[in-house]
Amino acid sequence: MQSPARHTPYLVAELAGMWRVDPSTVYRMIYAGRLRAERHGPRGKAIRVTPAAVAEYLASVSAEAVA
């Protein structure tokens, strides 16, 4: 059984937990431009990553592994 498609953005800590990396690694991926993210909140300090951006990143990583 497949899980339903996620519609809400991921927190950096969620992605770090899923990928078993330190949150600073996810932040570095975002700041390097490898993972698209959005800023939210009144001062734009909260960083969220859309499910589409995660899928795009995973596709690019798997394409690099094949090449």
Are 17 and 24 in contact, with CB atoms under 8 Å apart? no
Report whether pLDDT(33) > 70.
yes
Instruction: Report pLDDT digits (tens) over 13-29.
Output: 999 999 999 999 999 99
Residue, of 5 and 21, whose pLDDT is higher: 21
Listed by start position, the domains of the chain span 10-66
Average pLDDT over residues 43-63: 92
Residue, of 7 and 12, whose pLDDT is higher: 12
Report whether pLDDT(65) > 70.
yes
State the chain's maximal CA–CA distance in angstroms: 42
Mean pLDDT, the chain, whole residue set: 90
